[in-house]
Amino acid sequence: MNQLDALKALTTVVADTGNFRQLAQYAPRDATTNPTLILKAVQQPDYRPLLDETVAAHRGAPLAGIVDEVLVRFGLEILKVVPGRVSTEVDARLSFDTAATVARARHLIGLYEKAGIGRERVLIKIASTWEGIQAARALEREGIHCNLTLLFAFCQAVACGEAGVTLISPFVGRIYDWHKKAAGAAWDDAAMAGVNDPGVQSVARIWRYFKHYDIATEVMGASFRNVGQILALAGCDLLTISPELLAALQASDAPVPRQLDAAEAKAATIHAVSHAEPAFRWSLNEDAMATEKLAEGIRAFAADAIKLDRLIEEAKA
């Protein structure tokens, strides 16, 4: 058994890509996308026709509406390949606007439902700002399931659990990147690998907390830099993995031991916390890594959303 198959026995494997033609060979259950991945895909010759066809079919619509049509078109193609769910992201420029995020999410779900896809097969990705979490709270009450992304701090995870969010995506690699940069020459790659990786430790802490307190929100580790980070989270609810790392797992037959155990988490001594808005904002502010990476992530996704807007405007011309 290769490592990918062994991992699937412990964890639900999700593909992190907009390149749906790569998916079948790895047989993931779900798939995730983001503005960067979609932008990358539509600039490839194999996928550019999808953008051009979608723009041509909705040429008179507002730009934001055409963008959503493009995102959903990719989602529909992905759902032809995966048996489970696709995550489609709300524009990062709405990350601090609860009402606008709710409206955009409803529009995306409406497009999927118009195409015959039930809302149980779609996760709406929203940045884990306080406003985004409150938007997700409202959407979940309507049966619109959410994936809260750009999650770096424990307080973000706790607030998502309290809001009844379906799934969260804590970022392993970006946490690792921050700590490595902060340590500079003192960083020891070998000593900080595997279960000692700060990104791995962040996800493991969240997962154990949720299991200890029977919080239904699913934990999906994301943003991996190497196979070691993935294997150190074997047993997590879900892991979303790039095609490059899926291929590396598939090429190895080394053992994949379970690292996260629900019974151990249940038996552990873990103190409960709660985060109303003031406590949430203070806890996030006190976490320099999370504050910086959240802001950086929103800016990066917004920049790619602007680039996608420009491609669509060019295609309309």
The tokens for 157 are 């995870």
Burial of 198 (0-12, 13-18, 19+ CB in 10 A): middle
Query: What length does the chain have?
Result: 317
| Contact present, 49 and 57 (Cβ < 8 Å) | no
| Exposure string for 279-292, b = 16+ CB within 10 A, e = fewer | ebeebbeebebbee
Tell me the C-alpha to C-alpha distance, in Å, between residue 241 and each of 10, 145, 287. 15, 21, 26
Going by DSSP bridges, is the β-strand pair 12-16/86-89 parallel, antiparallel, or unpaired? unpaired
| Contact present, 205 and 154 (Cβ < 8 Å) | yes
Closest by alpha carbon to 78, among 141, 126, 30, 149? Answer: 30
Q: What positions carry a catalytic annotation?
A: 125
Helix (H, G, I), strand (E, B) or coil at 118: coil
| Contact present, 205 and 235 (Cβ < 8 Å) | no
DSSP state at residue 239: E
| Contact present, 227 and 257 (Cβ < 8 Å) | no
